[in-house]
């Protein structure tokens, strides 16, 4: 029920059209690692993992199992990304195809390579450059940051609802590990869920850390991802079998 699209069921049976999600190796690694880091049992924790880089996805990991994730059949769905649009009304796509005279693959390229943060700002898909431009007063860069953080926040809220609450929020990947402002803004306003950030603790880049306040009901962490290690462990497990 979580991964099917609301289209005729026969299309799933015939073409396997469903939501698959991506960054699975990263989400799996950081959800396991954060529990080791905090000394908790993953089978008792509701975890939201935010793999935020040039490509980005958010996952809900309930008691050790991913129960929902923001990307879909392709990596185009979900949160706003560096050059990908993220979620968009399908009718807006067909409307734009007609107006711009684009064929299906051309439209796919447009949404994957010319949209997202790059499309809104007209500057770059690199969040470091966008933050610098926003600090200098560039209004479209400021708008892009608001859009970007807002969409991540919405997914965090949605996945807390899907799991009946949240115990841990994890930030990882290029932006998640290094972008102080994105982490703070995306978690601001989530106090109703029990999230209380520590602005000073959040001033960390690329290292394992707790960035929520000591009295926060939800523990917010930065955990650098290590997909290569996860792949190596999986390979070893397969060989041992």
- pLDDT digit string, tens, across residues 101-127: 999 999 999 999 999 999 999 999 999
Distance separating the N- and C-terminal Cα atoms of the chain: 32
Contacts of 17 (CB under 8 A, 6+ apart): 5, 7, 11, 73
The domains found in the chain, sorted by start residue, are 23-240 (3.30.420.40)
| Lookup: tokens for 145 | 């940051």
HSE, CB side, 13 Å, CA atoms: give it for residue 182: 30
Average pLDDT over all residues of the chain? 97
Q: Please tell me the predicted confidence (pLDDT) of residue 228.
A: 94
- pLDDT digit string, tens, across residues 181-228: 999 999 999 999 999 999 999 999 999 999 999 999 999 999 999 999
Does residue 90 carry a pLDDT above 90?
yes
Confidence of residue 156 (pLDDT cuts 50, 70, 90): very high
> pTM, whole model, 2 decimals?
0.95
Q: How far is the C-alpha of 151 from the C-alpha of 144, rounded, in Å?
A: 11
Does residue 68 carry a pLDDT above 90?
yes
Q: Please tell me the predicted confidence (pLDDT) of residue 241.
A: 85
């Amino acid at each position: 029920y979580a991964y099917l699209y609301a289209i005729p069921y026969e299309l799933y049976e015939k073409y396997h059209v469903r939501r698959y999600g991506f960054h699975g190796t990263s989400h799996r690694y950081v959800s396991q690692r954060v529990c080791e880091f905090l000394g908790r049992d993953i089978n008792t924790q509701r975890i939201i993992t935010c793999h935020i880089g040039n490509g980005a996805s958010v996952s809900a990991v309930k008691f050790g199992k991913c129960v929902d994730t923001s990307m879909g059949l392709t990596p185009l769905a979900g949160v706003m990304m560096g050059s990908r649009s993220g979620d968009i009304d399908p009718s807006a796509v067909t409307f734009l195809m007609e107006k711009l005279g684009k064929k299906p693959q051309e439209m796919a390229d447009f949404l994957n390579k010319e949209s997202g943060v790059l499309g809104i700002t007209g500057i770059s898909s690199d969040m470091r450059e966008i933050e610098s431009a926003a600090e200098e007063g560039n209004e479209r860069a400021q708008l892009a940051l608001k859009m970007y953080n807002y969409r991540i926040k919405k997914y965090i809220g949605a996945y807390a609802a899907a799991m009946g609450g949240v115990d841990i929020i994890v930030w990882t990947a290029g932006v998640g590990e290094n972008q102080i402002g994105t982490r703070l803004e995306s978690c601001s306003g989530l106090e109703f869920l029990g999230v209380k950030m520590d602005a000073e603790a959040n001033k960390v880049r690329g290292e394992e850390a707790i960035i929520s306040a000591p009295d926060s009901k939800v523990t917010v962490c930065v955990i650098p991802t290590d997909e290569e290690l996860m792949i190596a462990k999986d390979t070893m497990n397969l060989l041992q079998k």
